[in-house]
Amino acid sequence: MCNRQAEVKGEAMIEGARVQKLRQAFANVFGGAPDLVARAPGRVNLIGEHTDYSDGFVMPMAIDRDVLVAVRRRADSQIRLHSVDFGGVSQLHLGAPVARDGMRTWSNYPRGVVHILLDAGAPLGGFDLAFTGNVPSGAGLSSSAAVEVATLQALDALFGLKLPTFEKAKLGQRAEREFVGVACGIMDQAISAAGVAGHALMLDCRSLETTLVPMGAGIAVVVTDTSVVRGLVDSKYNDRRAECEAATAHFARTRSDVIALRDVTADEVHDAADALGPVVARRARHVVTENARVLSAVAAFRAEDLGEVGRLMVASHASLRDDFEVTVPELDLLVELACAQPGVLGARMTGAGFGGCTVAIMPTDAVAGYVDSVVPAYEARTGLTPRVFTCEASDGASVVG
């Protein structure tokens, strides 16, 4: 207990130092202190990939890496945005339509939030905003959702918008879909807004009902970054969504109750394989079987059957590799190396794919052996140096200063 208390105190001191550093950066750029600082975490998805935009089930957890946003009201209608990590200031005015900034693309996430809030009728005024984060960009841990939700949390507090938790998630999703141009589901913004420390969250992406899933003691969640950076807007992410929608349209022609692949059974997908065509049939099969794996994983966590959780994670990766085709050789290699490592219960790619990270679960005393074995083996076969970090389940968005 004493050691854990020391760790928590150390984490609080680190977070406090980051807040103070952001406050100083804000003052350096804009002059004077911000009115408040908000945070929102990134996330790792334990299981349930590419199911959220088909009204399916997912099981993410908010991680102890986040985005901090500092804001201050202005007396005029000007908005100034600054990224501590990328530099520069991007400006816009409430009297003009919100447009993308092609030079400072980092600003398009808070710009998207402003656009969506104005579209929703929120009473915004001018403000200055600066942000920084330690969620790895381009690694599949939802750094973009963390920016969106942290911005929403900050503006909610600054202007007294009184947005419910899941309204922030919905608005963040709209910002990414309608302004940034990524046809994402609700999962990333939802877990960033609503995460609970010590728990994963099983989310029904249709009803937005949530089920807390205790992570248990002595289990480490280890994320390994392939160092293969992916860009969702330029990837085949949107293609996969279109393929799922094509499958849904096929079933909806004969079943009026089909709204998304959530409503289709594995037997129906099997029987319709010829009509769907081989590619669309594989996409649909992944979504339907992945939904079943999420529900099974909830039951396995509750039964403390972590071996079954691990088996489901490995099956999820195989489906993402073979049916949904969103892995890359580096992701497949990391999962292979992880599963061969003593103590590792299961591993899979996490995030949208096409690069990014894997997630593995293992006893905490197996982490050192994992790092010592998997990292050099991966480097030897790819020439890439992976980043490895252990994540703890954290709370969702909040005002921190």
Q: Which amino acids are annotated catalytic?
A: 188
d(CA 90, CA 101): 7
Output the CA torsion sign for 387, 135, 137, 141. positive
Q: Are 262 and 292 in contact (CB under 8 A)?
A: no
Q: How far is CA 273 from CA 49, 240, 254, in A?
A: 22, 17, 15
Pairing label, strands 78-83, 127-133: parallel
From 229, 183, 222, 276, select the one nearest 392 (Cα to Cα).
Answer: 222
Q: For strands 57-73 and 199-204, give the pairing.
A: antiparallel
Q: Are 17 and 132 in contact (CB under 8 A)?
A: no
Q: Report the alpha-carbon distance of residue 237 to residue 52 in Å, rounded.
A: 13
